[in-house]
Structure 1
Amino acid sequence: MRRSILLAVAAVLVMGCIGPFADTFDEAVQDTPADYDECCIGADRAVLGKLAGVPVIAGADLDTLRVDAVATSQQLDESAADWHKDGDGLIADDDTHEYVLALLTRLPGGDPKIHPVTTVIVSARLADAWRVGCPANATEPCAVPTRYESAPLVDPQDGDPISSSIVAVRVPVGQTVLLTAGDPKPGGAAVDLRTGRAVKIPVGSRLPALLGAGLALAIAFAIRAVDDGALRQYSGTALYASMIYAGVFVIRPRTTPLVAGAAAIVFCWAMETFQLTGIPAELSSRSLLARYVFGVTFDPADLVWYPVGVVPLVLVHLLITRKFHGVSRADGIHHG
């Protein structure tokens, strides 16, 4: 009897994981990562505020539409919504999920016949929003974002253009929700539906980091070709650190600028300290490559020049990141 029970359990697991009931089994044991719906033709900020039950925040413009306002709430007022799709799936609130809502309107002066297509992207972090799949050589868990494509400014009944509507997404607490006009692309424009700010979808590529490292190396060799004094020595030290900073992003593209900067400086200091052992000098006497990588003799001044090659890059990187991820309309906060 016990053997029969074990065999039955094993059969259920096999059929649920790889058999014909795999999809049903997954839905039964895993919570849906997100649900999407639209409502409220002709809505305004007052309707959005009533639906969310919280103050709304002004949004930003996209190519073909305006995210007029956004709101995040733990519970929705069902009486304020006439769902276009399957609103029942959105009203199952719990402590682990919340609702991210956006009021979408047509841009003033835009062609009313245009049916703008949007894509809502739900991911655990903004840095993961660019993913369309997991690389075959991934060495860590890779979460592919959930995506919903729709034409929210079109009447679902007759297909006629409408002036505004509300999109609602039920997501795990704290997850990133972006809206793009059309197909999302790395580096493309989007609006963060939590903050209402215009952002850029991150570029999950090592190419910019490789180009940066190559540029630092090229500048260092160019200076060596025209100068044989202090400029050559100390610029080489700073540019070595710059190349290490870029190398951090080659290894791990999603590293933050501050973490990458700290890692680069610590690595350079460790390599400089390593020169006290005499091993780098021995290796450098046998290999030009080792000389470039490890150096030869310890120089306390180099400990200062390493941050010189890293800190400006970190500051510029932070400014660029803030520019791409912190642009919003100056409407302030509005209450619904």
Structure 2
Amino acid sequence: MTAALVDGYDLVVFDLDGVVYLIDKPIAGAAEAVERLRAAGTPVAYATNNASRRAADVAALLSGMGVPAVADEVLTSAGAAAAMLAARFPAGAPVLVVGADALRAEVRDAGLVPVERADEGPVAVVQGYGPDVGWKVLAEASLAVRAGALWMATNTDRTLPSPRGPLPGNGSLVSVLRTALDREPDVVVGKPAPALFDTAASLAGSRRPLVVGDRLDTDIEGAVRAGVDSVLVLTGVSGPADLLAAPASRRPTYVCADLSGLFGSAEAARIPHDGAGAGGGEAGGWRLADGRLEGAGSPVDALRLLAGSVWNGGEPRAGSDEAAKLIGDWLG
């Protein structure tokens, strides 16, 4: 029997938004995939840049969707940010919080004091996603940073996936301050920084973790920086066109349509497909000849073939009507 892709790893670290759920709706097959991993004895962890929920709340949300999880398996950028602030500043130091109540609670539990105004003398501004963040608190944060406060962002995701399409994420809110202050944050905590993945592996005692994500600019780049293998699933933000255009720093080890791909063979998901870099190769009914894609079959197989050619300087060219339609759908 052919080994499954996941069999080569001793920990699977899932991103959440776009991989396991879309805001508050589970993605089809996610619960079954996690259950299958647990039945096989494979440890799992969840690493999210979303700072609007605490670890226990995330675990409860997942459990309510039928995805088994406990708080100790969840790593959030909010918890990591609070821990980093507590390591830098003395207990009781005031911190201006831009974000949701979950981020304030993490700051408070770390022994620091959440404040709302620049005239309260905050030593730092910590900025995370919150659906109610508005001009007033951003103005206070701008004043505090100009007065010398450390500026920490939990993450810089430009968008959040949703059933209606991408929505503004924390990176979009960070860009407001970036424009007002004409500078970058002093510290960015979440992915693509490797800290969440490193922590997950350390806590699980993992020597060979696998990261599963939907974003090239956070999940996959973070895995590359951490020096671990990764899977891009096409259920969230990054799509085929993004993958074809990805620089080496954002290229995954594997690509799958969804989480069911974890249980197929590794070679059926590896990107690029062997031989595709030379302008030729075959996969699942598709053939790449002289840099042209022809045939018919799974879009993922076509993507694996074409990526090898494009990443080596070629153009996404079609050699059949089926390939032309597929490439047209990807590239618009």
Normalised by the shorter chain, which TM-score bucket? under 0.3
Give the TM-score of the pair, scaled to structure 2. 0.24
Give the TM-score of the pair, scaled to structure 1. 0.23
Higher relative contact order (CA 8 A, sep 6+): 1
Larger radius of gyration: 1
